[in-house]
Chain A
Amino acid sequence: MSQEKERLENKGGGWKEWFSAKNMKLLTRPFGADNPITVQVLGICSALAVTAKMQPALVMAISVVVVTGFANLIISLLRNTIPPRIRIIVQLTVIATLVILVDQTLKAVAYEVSRQLSVFVGLIITNCIVMGRLEAFAMANKPWPSFLDGVGNGAGYGLILIIVAFIREFFGSGTVFGYKVIPPSFYEAGYTDNGLFILPPMALIVLGVIIWIHRSMNRNLIEK
């Protein structure tokens, strides 16, 4: 029913329709009120594991954007031919293929970073965000909105990843992307890097504080 309605609305076609306000909302909503990490609380484990430094976090974010975007696109293209009973297997196959592609590309292009990310690139397969968007959106929507939704959610995830990584790297190592940003005079005056920020528990705490801030800015997220 809703598909029918959508088709009628999009009948006019043309590039303007592609970037209509409704479609752009799919792309931008995950940054704020519908953020996969801070609101849906998905994909937490990789967010804790790869955020000790900015560089791996950024690469991880890009990888997830690629995977969510294209997985949504492909599943949406196939959605009418997938038998409902085996849809999970089909979805997993698509995701796994994409993840292997990303993993191999990383190994070829950025070996150092891929070594740091180690198993976590492979674990994108199990990232709840990817599967969640396929089930919730791509199975019921057209390819282009699905693609936007995937990219948006991947980017919303990546944004949080990068914020957490920035805080952790800045306080934990005094660097940003590996460059020293805290001047040496601070260290001479007795400043010491905070080792706790390097440890995984601090990622959880930083994430918690981000959710706290997000919720207090956006009151309607708070459950009654």
Chain B
Amino acid sequence: MLRNFLDKIKPHFGKDGKLHFLHSTFEAFESFLYVPDKVTVSGCHVRDALDMKRTMIMVVFALLPCFLFGIYNTGFMHFSALGETRDFWPTFWFGCTKVLPMLIVSYVVGLGIEFIFAQVRGHEVNEGFLVSGFLIPLICPPDVPLWMVGVATAFAVIIGKEVFGGTGMNIWNPALLARAFLFFAYPSRMSGDSVWVADAVSGPTALSHIASGATDAVPSVSQLFWGFIPGSVGETSKFCILIGAAILLWSGIGSFRIMFSAVAGAGLMAWIGHQTGATDATMIQHLLSGGFLFGAVFMATDPVTSAQTQAGKWIFGFLVGVMAMVIRIFNPAYPEGMMLAILLMNTFAPLIDYLVVNRNISRRKKRLRMASEPSAVVNS
């Protein structure tokens, strides 16, 4: 029935239709409801109608465990700070009242801007924002005022994405840019060392304990792993993040190279930091606290802003991990370094790719030379 309706109104949006100026809006809704005819295989920087929607929806699925747990944890933190115990559903419901408005604001503002730009520039609406809009509430503390979420989303979409030409053209991860905007614009809200727990109560995060050297106060490893700790909405439960990672790896959307090398880099750097006494927390505590894993799984692997070459991905991920730990351990002003590390490496990703590609070219040239005139190579 819906299909018939869409087919019936479609001519109005055609080249000569009277509603032509709304054609990209129409296409967005049509392809949102039905699989587009044109489908390609991987990577959303390839501006083919490729199945970007499929990719994006898969990432959203992978984020769902974190999202649901984040909602529950928000309520759980609230009631446990007040010294009350509630059943599952009231807790979950309370979390909904905090988290869902953020999600709605992020989507309404972000998609609104995307639709306007698509309309003005006369291209289809891209689905890139489905994931960014879902990520934004997950990487914010639960108490960020909604208007701040809106402003940050607008900034990220306009300055981070549309300025460069829209989805697939951006240099930085839009969701992280929104967080960076909040972080620098309203530092008192986003410092990463203390976070909202319940109304009018805020508690220190694991990271602030690590930064201040109070390792005794850091939650136990199992708490850090299961996630019943204060923090930004989606980052607390490492278990749910691992489920998401499994989904991304299974579907081939997230790059295992980036994930593994990021963890390796961070592990190495945290180990060095611990051995040299620069930080009191152990490697495991560093890996499990804060947004590191969340960033490594969902944000560093963003196919647009990370390195594209296979070797480049190893280097990119490793440097993200190293930088995150360097910022955490050696810069007391920033208890959490993952956001800045990813944004920094996003900036360098094209350079990494360039070097990898050039190296490959020169290696092949050398091989070619060797094959054509072996004596010349031997002599030199």
Which of A's residues lie within 8 Å of B, judged by CB?
Answer: 190-192, 194-197, 199, 205, 208-209, 212
Q: Select from chain A the residue with minimum beta-carbon distance to B151.
A: A194
Chain B 171-193, CB-CB to A under 8 Å as 1, else 0, gives 00000000001001111110000
Which of B's residues lie within 8 Å of A, judged by CB?
Answer: 145, 147-148, 151, 159, 163, 181, 184-189
- The CA-CA distance from A199 to B187 in the complex, in Å, is 12
Find out whether the CB atom of B184 lies under 8 angstroms from the CB atom of A195: yes
Find out whether the CB atom of B159 lies under 8 angstroms from the CB atom of A196: no
Selected A-B contacts with CB under 8 Å, 23 pairs: A190-B145, A190-B147, A191-B147, A192-B148, A192-B186, A192-B188, A192-B189, A194-B151, A194-B185, A194-B186, A195-B184, A195-B185, A195-B186, A195-B187, A196-B181, A196-B184, A196-B185, A197-B185, A199-B184, A205-B159, A208-B163, A209-B159, A212-B163
- The CA-CA distance from A199 to B180 in the complex, in Å, is 13
Question: What residues on B are CB-neighbors of A212 within 8 Å?
Answer: 163
- The CA-CA distance from A96 to B181 in the complex, in Å, is 40
Q: Select from chain B the residue with minimum beta-carbon distance to A201.
A: B184
Question: What residues on A are CB-neighbors of B187 within 8 Å?
Answer: 195
Question: What residues on A are CB-neighbors of B189 within 8 Å?
Answer: 192
- The CA-CA distance from A191 to B185 in the complex, in Å, is 12
- The CA-CA distance from A190 to B143 in the complex, in Å, is 12
- The CA-CA distance from A212 to B151 in the complex, in Å, is 20
- The CA-CA distance from A212 to B188 in the complex, in Å, is 32
- The CA-CA distance from A195 to B180 in the complex, in Å, is 12
Question: What residues on B are CB-neighbors of A209 within 8 Å?
Answer: 159
Question: What residues on A are CB-neighbors of B163 within 8 Å?
Answer: 208, 212
Q: Select from chain A the residue with minimum beta-carbon distance to B146.
A: A190
- The CA-CA distance from A102 to B145 in the complex, in Å, is 47
Give the top 8 A-B pairs by smallest Cβ distance, nearest first: A196-B185, A194-B185, A196-B184, A195-B185, A192-B186, A190-B145, A195-B187, A205-B159
Least CB distance, B140 to chain A, in whole angstroms: 15
Q: Select from chain B the residue with minimum beta-carbon distance to A192.
A: B186
Least CB distance, A217 to chain B, in whole angstroms: 14
- The CA-CA distance from A170 to B151 in the complex, in Å, is 16
- The CA-CA distance from A196 to B186 in the complex, in Å, is 8
Least CB distance, A116 to chain B, in whole angstroms: 22
- The CA-CA distance from A208 to B151 in the complex, in Å, is 18
Question: What residues on A are CB-neighbors of B148 within 8 Å?
Answer: 192
Q: Select from chain A the residue with minimum beta-carbon distance to B120.
A: A216
Question: What residues on A are CB-neighbors of B184 within 8 Å?
Answer: 195-196, 199
- The CA-CA distance from A197 to B185 in the complex, in Å, is 7
- The CA-CA distance from A22 to B188 in the complex, in Å, is 55
A190, A195, A196, A197 — which one has the most chain B CB atoms within 10 A of its CB? A196
Question: What residues on A are CB-neighbors of B147 within 8 Å?
Answer: 190-191
Least CB distance, A200 to chain B, in whole angstroms: 11
- The CA-CA distance from A212 to B148 in the complex, in Å, is 25
- The CA-CA distance from A205 to B163 in the complex, in Å, is 11
Q: Select from chain B the residue with minimum beta-carbon distance to A196.
A: B185
Question: What residues on A are CB-neighbors of B185 within 8 Å?
Answer: 194-197
Least CB distance, A48 to chain B, in whole angstroms: 16
Question: What residues on A are CB-neighbors of B181 within 8 Å?
Answer: 196
Q: Select from chain A the residue with minimum beta-carbon distance to B186.
A: A192
- The CA-CA distance from A190 to B145 in the complex, in Å, is 8
Least CB distance, A44 to chain B, in whole angstroms: 18
- The CA-CA distance from A197 to B181 in the complex, in Å, is 10
- The CA-CA distance from A212 to B158 in the complex, in Å, is 12
- The CA-CA distance from A208 to B155 in the complex, in Å, is 13
Q: Select from chain B the residue with minimum beta-carbon distance to A171.
A: B185
Least CB distance, A177 to chain B, in whole angstroms: 22
